[in-house]
């Protein structure tokens, strides 16, 4: 299986430990969301993958082999600090970058035309990059990451500062590249997007991976939560349900945490809700990625403090 592996990466800047045994992998065809608070170490890990920065120990492998200079030419990278030449024309710059990655002149021009078209900046090919709005510069930056038809995509906050249309274009490009077998890793603070796009997610805190898995795996909690909306019920009815802890109750909507998360664990709560009054809604409460993120980050902060 073709897989991009980040294997026990350690990195310190002087006395600051930026990464501690950071380990995870991204399969070919998978979109991996790399999330974490500011300063958690995402950029550091991506820079190590690209060889812009060296790790103190650990390595990044593609298909079982450490990423060397030759392989890194086949990676599409969007650096956080962005890396375009402001005084060079959009089209020329993309052709130049494609050639730098080993493409022939004709193919480089064709790829530049294709990607500027796809990303909605074809009309700006003749303009210097610095004349473009920030969002359009970012579209060009993505074109720069894609123009050489990379085998791997590593994108540092590709969605920041994009308008909703550009977000849609960027999303569809990532989904399409993954469908073509490319492992895609991107960092983002926009957790709704990560939730929507990613197959798997890794949450880093202070250089360590604190949660890793598919969205379903991350959402699986030891105790299920359910909500019921009941009209005309006597106050406090839910407190009498065996195995249920009431988390909130506004007189109509009640949310409970149940002991366990097995099939059918909600049935006593459902029966009680039906008996209590007119049941209008009944559903499981599924935590969002933002809920999980807050939970994981605050939980590990408490552990650190202890
Ligand atoms: N060149 C550097 N010299 C010293 N410290 C650095 C350097 N680059 C990063 N750091 C520190 O390493 C830690 C990890 O930073 P990094 O940029 O990798 O985090 P990040 O997760 O990408 O953050 P953000 O979401 O804010 O972009 C931070 O504490 C940061 O201050």
Structure confidence by residue, pLDDT tens digits, 54-63? 999 999 999 9
Give the residue from 121, 133, 94 showing the smallest Cα distance to 110.
Answer: 94
Span 270-296, mean pLDDT? Answer: 91
Q: What is the mean pLDDT of residues 68-94?
A: 90
Q: Is the pLDDT of residue 287 over 90?
A: no
Q: Give yes or no: residues 26 and 106 share one domain.
A: yes
Q: What is the mean pLDDT of the chain?
A: 92
Domain-terminating residue out of 186, 213, 240: 213
The band of 11, judged by pLDDT with boundaries at 50, 70 and 90, is: very high
Whether the complex's predicted ipTM is more than 0.90 is answered with yes
Does the pLDDT of residue 303 top 70, yes or no? no
For ligand 1, atom 23, which residue shows the shortest CA distance? Answer: 39
Segment 251-277 mean pLDDT: 94
In testing the pocket of ligand 1, which one of 36, 37, 41, 157 has its CB within 8 Å of the most ligand atoms? 41
Positive or negative, the CA dihedral 233, 237, 243, 247 is positive
The residue nearest atom 26 of ligand 1, judged by CA position, is 38
CATH of the domain at 84: 3.40.50.300
Q: How confident is the model at residue 114 (pLDDT cuts 50, 70, 90)?
A: very high
Average pLDDT over residues 240-262: 93
Q: Is 42 in the pocket of ligand 1 (CB under 6 A)?
A: yes
Q: Is residue 299 part of a domain?
A: no
| CATH number of the domain enclosing 243 | 3.30.70
Judgement on whether residues 28 and 78 belong to the same structural domain of the protein: yes
148/18 same-domain check? yes
Residue bearing the CA closest to ligand 1, atom 5: 13
Residues 40 and 90 both lie in one domain: yes
Query: Is 4 within 8 Å of 48 (Cβ atoms)?
Result: no
Buried b / exposed e over 213-246, threshold 16 CB at 10 Å, is: eebeebeeeeebbbbbbbeebeeebbeebeebee
> 59 and 153 share a domain?
yes
Q: Is residue 250 within 8 Å of residue 225, measured between CB atoms?
A: no
Considering its fold, how many domains does the chain have in total? 2
Confidence at 161, pLDDT banded by 50, 70, 90: confident
- Ligand 1: nearest atom to the Cα of 38: 26
Give pLDDT, residue 295.
81
Residue 90 has pLDDT above 90, yes or no: yes
- Whether residue 174 lies inside any domain: the answer is yes
- Which of 11, 12, 18 for mutating ligand 1's site (highest number of atoms within 8 Å of CB)? 18
**Does 289 reside within a domain?**
no
Q: How far is CA 274 from CA 106, 165, 170, 194, in A?
A: 70, 45, 46, 37
Give the pLDDT confidence score for residue 179 in this predicted structure: 97
Q: Is residue 305 part of a domain?
A: no
- pLDDT interval class at 209 (50, 70, 90): very high
Residue 66, ligand 1, Cβ within 6 A: no
Indicate whether 188 and 240 sit together in one domain.
no
Same domain, 75 and 202: yes
Residue 156 shares a structural domain with residue 44? yes
> Does residue 21 sit in the same domain as residue 62?
yes
Q: Is the pTM of this model over 0.90?
A: no
In a domain? residue 306: no
Domain hosting residue 276, numbered range: 222-284
13 lines ligand 1 (CB under 6 A): yes
Q: What is the mean pLDDT of residues 51-80?
A: 92
Residues 230 and 64 sit within 8 Å (Cβ to Cβ): no
Residue 52 within any structural domain of the chain: yes
Asked whether the predicted pLDDT for residue 301 surpasses 70, the reply is no
Answer yes or no: do 81 and 230 share one domain.
no
How far is the centre of ligand 1, averaged over its atoms, from the C-alpha of 249 (Å)?
Answer: 43
Are 152 and 256 within one domain? no
Q: How remote is the CA of residue 198 from the centroid of ligand 1, in Å?
A: 24
Question: Is the shortest distance between the CB of 136 and ligand 1 below 6 Å?
Answer: no
Residue to probe by mutation, ligand 1, list 36, 44, 155, 186, most atoms within 8 Å of CB = 44
What pLDDT does 69 receive?
Answer: 87
Backbone phi and psi for residue 218, each to the nearest 5 degrees, phi listed first? -70, -30
Confidence band of 83 (pLDDT split at 50, 70, 90) = confident
CA of 286 to the centre of ligand 1 (A): 32
Q: Is residue 296 part of a domain?
A: no
Residue where a domain terminates, one of 213, 245, 271: 213
Residues 270 and 208 in one domain: no
Percent of the chain's residues with pLDDT above 70: 97
301: in domain: no
Using the 3D structure, point to which of 187, 213, 239 is the last residue of a domain: 213
> For ligand 1, is residue 18 a contact (CB within 6 Å)?
yes
């Amino acid at each position: 299986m073709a897989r991009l592996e980040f294997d026990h990466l350690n990195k310190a800047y002087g006395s600051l430990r930026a990464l501690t045994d950071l380990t995870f992998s991204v399969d070919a065809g998978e979109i991996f969301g790399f999330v974490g608070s500011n300063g958690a170490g995402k950029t550091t890990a991506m820079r190590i993958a690209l060889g812009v920065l060296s790790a103190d120990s650990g390595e990044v492998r593609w298909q079982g082999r450490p990423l060397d200079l030759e392989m890194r030419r086949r990676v599409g990278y969007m650096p956080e600090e962005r890396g375009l030449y402001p005084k060079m024309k959009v089209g020329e710059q993309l052709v130049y970058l494609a050639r730098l990655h080993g493409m022939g002149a004709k193919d480089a021009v064709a790829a530049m035309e294709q990607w500027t078209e796809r990303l909605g900046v074809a009309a700006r090919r003749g303009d210097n990059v610095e004349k473009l709005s920030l969002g359009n510069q970012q579209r060009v930056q993505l074109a720069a990451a894609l123009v050489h038809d990379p085998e791997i995509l590593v994108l540092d906050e590709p969605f920041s500062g994009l308008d909703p249309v550009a977000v849609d274009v960027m999303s569809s490009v990532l989904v399409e590249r993954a469908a073509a077998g490319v492992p895609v890793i991107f960092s983002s603070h926009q957790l709704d997007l990560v939730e929507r796009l990613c197959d798997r997610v890794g949450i880093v805190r202070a250089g360590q991976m604190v949660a890793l898995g598919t969205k379903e795996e991350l959402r699986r909690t030891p105790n299920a939560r359910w909500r019921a909306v009941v009209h005309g019920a006597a106050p406090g009815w839910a407190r009498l349900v065996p195995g249920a802890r009431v988390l909130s109750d506004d007189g109509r909507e009640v949310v409970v945490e149940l002991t366990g998360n097995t099939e059918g664990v909600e049935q006593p709560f459902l029966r009680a809700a039906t008996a209590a009054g007119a049941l209008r809604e009944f559903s499981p409460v599924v935590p969002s990625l933002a809920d999980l993120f807050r939970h994981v980050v605050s939980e590990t902060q408490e552990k650190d403090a202890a």
